[in-house]
Amino acid sequence: MGTLDGKVIIITGASRGQGEAEAVLAAQAGAKVVVTDIIDGQHVAKEVGGLFISHDVTSSEQWANVVQKTLAAYGRIDGLVNNAGIWKPGGVTQATEAEFRQIIDVNQVGVFLGMQAVAATMIAQKSGSIVNISSVAGMRGLRAIAYAASKWAVHGMTKTAARELGAHNVRVNSVHPGFIETDMLPQGIESTIANQVPMQRTADAKEVGEVVMFLLGDAASYVNGAEIIVDGGFIA
């Protein structure tokens, strides 16, 4: 038996990278997986035997469509992984207003809309797990002001939602990855990893995904409002 047998899990930004790794792990654990992304994710849905829905996380209408299609296909929603996100470096003096607003819209507003979209279904079921992917940038300063602002917001929104939804047996937790081998990994960070990451390596996306699987499963039934850091000791 898998740890997610019979559960229906929505994973955003799941066409590649960390989201794809999470989708594969969820399916291997027995879940029915709904893959969503703004880019084509049919290949991932086929691999995991799930459903792909084209999805812009900044649109409340498209979130409503994801929920409607998921319920039509599977009848319930047990988990949501708010994984979709974008990154751009730039401090206070470099970032443009347009860049700042775009990153906030995807990384912060998208997470809010996702939690709001699935809340009613999970409350009615009296069960559910929402996992919001933040970052170590949501735990410390980073010379990428828009990204850091969005990930600090995800950290805070997670705490707020956990307090609100916990009474309905709906858990909300955040995961804070460090340097992960995906397309979003900054270039030229070898010296940083060697000098500042105690484990002296980056992580495979599956190493983050395993933490997400724990939070989605029943073994984490009393874990609510937590932040779990997956960074090899970077910010320790």
- Whether 167 is covered by a domain: the verdict is yes
The pLDDT value recorded for residue 160 is: 98
- Whether 52 is covered by a domain: the verdict is yes
Convert the pLDDT of each residue in 69-120 to its tens digit.
999 999 999 999 999 999 888 899 999 999 999 999 999 999 999 999 999 9
Q: What total number of domains does the chain contain? A: 1
- Whether 65 is covered by a domain: the verdict is yes
Among the options 100, 147, 152, 234, which is catalytic? 147
Structural domain that includes position 200:
8-230
- Whether 100 is covered by a domain: the verdict is yes
The pLDDT value recorded for residue 99 is: 96
- Whether 40 is covered by a domain: the verdict is yes
* 147: annotated active-site residue: yes
Beta carbons within 8 Å of 133's beta carbon, 6+ residues apart: 18, 81, 82, 83, 85, 154, 174, 175, 177, 208, 212
Q: What are phi and psi of 32, to 5 degrees?
A: -90, 125
- Whether 117 is covered by a domain: the verdict is yes
Average pLDDT over residues 53-67: 98
Residue 18, domain CATH: 3.40.50.720
- Whether 215 is covered by a domain: the verdict is yes
pTM: 0.95
